[in-house]
Every structure is written in C-alpha cells, then in structure tokens.
Amino acid sequence: MATSAVSLEPAAHVEAHELSFLRKYIFSTDHKIIGIQFLLMSFVFLLFGGLMAMMIRWQLGFPERPLPAGQLLPETMAPGGILLPEFYNSLVTMHGTIMVFFAIMPLLVGVFGNYLIPLKLGAPDMAFPRLNMASFWIAFSAGILMMAGFFVEGGHAAAGWTAYAPLSADPEWTGVSGGQQIWLLSIAILGLASIMGALNYITTVVNLRAPGMTWFRMPLSIWALFVTAILVLLAIPILSGAAIMLFFDQTIGTHFFDWTDGGQVILWQHLFWYFGHPEVYILILPAMGMVSDIIANGSRKPVFGYHSMVFALISIAFLGWVVWGHHMFQSGMNPTLGMTFMISTMIIAVPSAIKVFNWMGTMWRGNIRFHVPMLHSVGFVAMFVIGGLSGIFMASTPVDIYIHDTYFIVAHIHYVLFGGSLFAIFAAVTYWYPKMFGRMMNSTVGKVHFWLTFLFYNMTFFPMHDLGIAGHMRRIYDPSQYEFLQPLAPLNRFITVSALLLFTVQILFAANFIMSWFKGKKAGENPWEANGLEWTVASPPPHGNFAKVPTVYRGPYEYSSPLVEEDFLMQTRKLASDVDPAAAGP
C-alpha cells in the first residue's frame, strides 16, 4: 500500500538537487548505498559471530584454562574468566544465530541482492527504493535488538539457534527469559525486513529488466538471487509464525509447544525446519550464482551448461521444500517419513553435483586468470564439494543415527557455510569492490589472505569430521567429562589453535578492505574485462546507474567469443549482426 505512493522514476529527478549527507548516506534510497550499508553491518556481525566462535573454541580446546581477557566479562558470564555452561550455551546459540541471520544472509541477499540486481539488469534502482531503505533499517534494528539480549538478566537465549521447544519455551529449563524473548522478537523483525527485501528483488527482476535482457540472458548471479528471493519470501513467514507462537508461549502463556496442555513439542521442529531447509539454500544459492559469474570471468569462457545451471537452481529451490525432515531423523518422527525424506534428500544432492561439474566444465580448456576473486571461487568449489559429499553420510538414515548431533554435522555445516558461502562472499566482495568503491583491493594481500584462510580453514574444520566419527557430540561445554572423548583433547586443541589463526588472518582482509577504500588503485569501468551491464558504467556508478536505458544483445558469458578479437564481449555491445530488441518485436 505504501508502495503505491512510490514514484515511477525512482532516480531520474532525484539527482537534480544536492542531497544532504543524511539522505545520501544514511537514509538513502539508492540501492547501491543500501547494499554497502548492508555490507558494513554484516561485517560487524561477522566479527561478533567470529569472536563468539573463538570463545567457544577456547573452551573446547582448553576447558581447564580461563579465557584470555575473560575477566573483563561479567560474573554471570565468566567468573574469573571461566566460561559458565549457561554462557557457553548462549554463545553457541548466538554464534549460529548471528552468523546465519545477521552475517551470511544479509551478506548474500542484502548486499549483493541490492547491489547487483538493478545494475546487472540495467535498471535505475529497485522497484521500491523506499521500501528498500526501510528494509535495511528494520534489519539493522533487529540486529541491535539481538545484541541487546546479552545484557538482560538471565543472559541471552541459550536453546541453540534452532531454539527447540520446550527448552526455549519455558525459562525454568534454561534460566533465560528476557533473552529468549528478545531473540524471538528480533528474528520476527528481521523476517519482516527480509520479506520486504525479497518482494523488492522479485518485482525488480520481473519488471525492471532492460530491453533485450530476456530471462535466459540474465547472469546466474541474478537467477540465483531471484530464486533465493522467492525462497525468502515463502520460507521466512513460516519462521515468523513459529517465532510468534513461541513468543506467546513464553509471554502470555499459550500452549502451542507445551506438551502438558495439548501442545506438541515436535511441531516446533517441523515448523522450524520447514523454514530451515529452504533457509539453507537461501544461504548457498546466491553464493553459487556469484561464483558462476566469477568462474566464467576468471576462466574467460562461457559458463558450461548455462541452462542446466538455471534448472539446477530452480530444482534445488523446489526440492528444498520437501527435505526438511532430514534434520529430524532421530526426533521420534514416524520412521516411514524418515524413508521418504531420505530419498528426497538424496535427490536434492543431484542438482548440486550438476553445478559442481559445470563449474569444472567452465574451467576446462579455459585461459584461467587467477585473480583474487577467482581464487576464492575455486576455493568455494573445492570446499563446497566436501560439504556436499559429507551431506550424503547424514542423508543415509542409518549412518545419521550415529553422526546426528555430532561434530560431523558441525564440520558439514561449516564446509557449506564457511567453505561455501563465506569463500563466495570473499570472492564477490573482491570482485565487485572496484564497482562499489571505485578502487581495487590490493591483490597481493588478497592472495596471501586467500591462501592463509584456505589453509587454516581446512585445519580448523576438516578434523571436525574426525571428532564426529569418534562420536563427539555438538554443543558440549566440556568434552573431558566423557571418557571416550578424552583421547580427542589434543585434536580439539589443534582445532582451537587453527581457529584462532584463521580468525587472526582475517585482519588481512579487514585491513585490505579499509585501506583500499582510501588508497587502492583507481579502478576503471571494467577492471576484470567482464561482460555484465554493471561494467559499462563508471566505478562507482552514478545515482540512477545508467545515463540512458541500456540495450542488451546477448547472454552474460560471451567470453572468448569467436565473433570478436578480445576475449570478452559485453552484453550491451552491438555487433553488426545484432538486431535491436525493440525492432525484433515482442
């Protein structure tokens, strides 16, 4: 409704008069500024999430030693620097929550959805720029609220990022009341922001494409963001509904998940994972899309099997709705359902496999330029494969009996979310950095950062598979309590040291990001010699993006085309053989 008030030409007139600082950089309706706002916000949350991970790792590696500088924490968290189990549980909960909802999701969807969709489609801005701004500020408020939870009495939510009822439903079981409520409110508010964003992306992709930008000329990054937006749109309201029910259980005494008065405990899990599995794909599909763009650019070759890549994306998005039960094999759910979910889960692995082979096919017979984004993209493929393959173990229900809720799962999720999504984010940030800020990030530092991250990342997460195979449970505050886990202490220490190193080398990235903003080499319009529409405009692009509406003549991956001398052929370049889309008729 509010949207009906939005002007049709979002950008055209606005440029005419000078905007105040506040309107230009804070309450901006420019999709590029909003994308950068999301970027900065998510990096801060990435740092918070990482710090929490370090505390968790310290406790697991050195359970008998106080946390360095832990004395600075209040007594209710870490008396004398010794983490309390309840605080550890809060850390585990919040590490997951922050990383999933406030780091990776906004990084992929918020940052690149905003930044790339209008630019790559030849649109002046989003369909609803004011809604877009509201979306950011609502997400930002949700983030502040989420962090505020650490300061309430009873501590922050401690029932895991999955917030399984009844642990999350009744303060008696955790001692947490306000924290859990804040968690639920924040998630519901963030959900609102996500839905607003998704609605914007979908409308923009459908309606604001430049002439000639047909569906199958859209870059895979845009396809992926589009499909992701649909998933966000449909999955998030499920979580919001569930969160509201749980919030009412906590506050006004409803009984949705209260088994003592007609409610059902397992209903929460069904609702959560019915949202949660599409969410998993929300966290990886945009990464896959952007990596496809970058690998084609790095390999100087068209994406191998563009159409099958698109269909793989779409089929993952469809199948993503019928596999949620594989998170619940051991939950007491009907075992026959377990069989169905196992088969659907096995099937969903196929499109992922297709994508991996197509990326390899793209590199095959290419002329690969290993610029930093390309390094991270190849790293993404290499790591995502491990995450995908380890998923097959837990898809097999009998094997899952053993590895469910062990570190094998932790390894798996980090291979997908860190090795996958975060490597793709590093790739995408370095790739589009020159467009965003007009300067190149330092390539040498970038390469050192990549190799160190790649090394320490694998040292951190690969051994977690072995922990899982030895039966090491997740979310365990002190593994030394179990005799069968005691021999794993050295491995845990090794992982902790690796994780600390991994965290430390991210300073390189942060420094490179900040320094390049001011001192980086000036980037031209098209530093990577890429084909997309965003590379036809200045870096950074002006308000309104395109001086005149661009016309698209071909797909986004015409690298090394025999038609031209150079090894790239921009989407907007008109060759003698090209026909104007307007002239070609509808």
Partner 1 sequence: MRRFWVTSCLFAFLGCGGGDGGSGGGGGAAETAPLGNASISGMVMFSGDAPANPAIDMSEEPECAAKHTDGPTNPIVSVTDGHLANVFVRVVGGLPGGPYPVPSEPATIDQNGCLYVPRVVGVMVGQTLAITNSDPLLHNIKAVPTENRLFNISQPRAGMTSNRIFTAPEIMVPFECSVHGWMNAYAGVVEHPYFAVSGADGSFTISGLPAGTYQVEAWHETLGTQSGDVTVEADGSATLTFTFGG
Partner 2 sequence: MSWILPPGASTFAGDIDFLYYVILVITGIAFVVVEVGLLVFAIKYRARPGRKAQYIEGSIKAEIIWTAVPAVTLVIIGLMSGGVWNHIKGRNSIPPNAIPYEVHVKQFEWNFTYRGPDGQLGTSDDFIVRNQLHIPVNRPVELQLIAEDVIHSFFVPAFRVKQDAVPGMDIRVWFEATKVGEYEIACAELCGLGHYRMRARVFVHSAEDYQQWLSDRAAAADEE
Partner 3 sequence: MAHPALMKPPARREIGADVYSEKLGMWVFLGSEVMFFTALIGSYIILRFGSPEQWAAPGQILNIPLTAVNTFLLICSSVTMVKAFAAIQDGDQRLLKLYMLATVAIGAAFVGVQAYEYTHLVHAGFLPSGYSAGSELAERAAEGLLPVSVGVYGSSFYTMTGFHGFHVSVGVICMSFVTWKAYRGAYTKEDHRGVEVVGLYWHFVDLVWIILFTIVYLV
User: Contact residues for partner 3 (CB under 8 A)?
Assistant: 1-6, 8, 127-128, 195, 198-200, 202-204, 206-211, 213, 233-238, 240-242, 244-245, 248-249, 252-256, 258, 261-264, 267, 270-271, 274
* CA terminus-to-terminus distance, the chain: 31
Q: Residue 249 or 558: which CB sits closer to partner 1?
A: 249
Closest CA relative to residue 281, chosen from 352, 205, 195: 352
Q: Which does 198 bind (CB under 5 to 8 A by kind): partner 3, partner 1, partner 2, none?
A: partner 3
| Angle, alpha carbons 222-43-41 (nearest 5°) | 80
By CB under 8 A, which span of 74-82, 330-338, 511-519, 522-530 interacts with partner 1?
74-82
Exposed/middle/buried for 46, CB within 10 Å: 0-12, 13-18, 19+?
Answer: buried
Q: 522 φ, ψ to 5°?
A: -60, 135
Question: Distance (Å, rounded) from C-alpha 171 to C-alpha 428?
Answer: 42
Question: Distance (Å, rounded) from C-alpha 573 to C-alpha 324?
Answer: 45
Residue 443 sits in the site that holds partner 1 (CB under 8 A): no
Q: Residue 77 or 245: which CB sits closer to partner 3?
A: 245
Three-class secondary structure of residue 272 per DSSP: helix
Residue 177 sits in the site that holds partner 2 (CB under 8 A): no
Q: Which does 76 bind (CB under 5 to 8 A by kind): partner 2, partner 3, partner 1, none?
A: partner 1
Enter the DSSP assignment of 211. T
Residue 172 sits in the site that holds partner 1 (CB under 8 A): yes
Query: For the window 492-521, what string marks contact with partner 2 as x by the rule CB under 8 A?
Result: ------------------------------
- Within 468-527, which residues bind partner 1 (CB under 8 A)? 477-478
Question: Distance (Å, rounded) from C-alpha 454 to C-alpha 452?
Answer: 5
Q: 191 φ, ψ to 5°?
A: -60, -40
Question: Distance (Å, rounded) from C-alpha 572 to C-alpha 122?
Answer: 10
Instruction: Pick from 562, 576, 577, 583 the residue near partner 2 by CB under 8 A.
Output: 562
Query: For the window 225-254, what string marks contact with partner 1 as x by the rule CB under 8 A?
Result: -------------------------xxxx-
Residues near partner 2 (CB under 8 A), total = 99
We find the least distance from the C-beta atom of residue 575 to partner 2, in angstroms, to be: 15
Instruction: Pick from 74, 332, 524, 542 the residue near partner 1 by CB under 8 A.
Output: 74
Question: Distance (Å, rounded) from C-alpha 75 to C-alpha 44?
Answer: 25
Instruction: Pick from 50, 81, 160, 175 the residue near partner 1 by CB under 8 A.
Output: 175
Instruction: Pick from 11, 14, 43, 86 the residue near partner 1 by CB under 8 A.
Output: 86
For residue 437, the number of C-alpha atoms closer than 13 Å in the C-beta half-sphere is 21
Tokens of residue 267, six digits: 């209903």
Bridge partners (DSSP) listed for residue 156: 179
Question: Distance (Å, rounded) from C-alpha 357 to C-alpha 338?
Answer: 29
Instruction: Pick from 60, 182, 208, 464 the residue near partner 1 by CB under 8 A.
Output: 182
Q: Which does 8 bind (CB under 5 to 8 A by kind): partner 3, partner 1, partner 2, none?
A: partner 3
Footprint of partner 1 on this chain (CB under 8 A)? 74-76, 79, 82, 84-86, 145, 148, 151-154, 171-175, 177-178, 181-182, 185, 250-253, 477-478
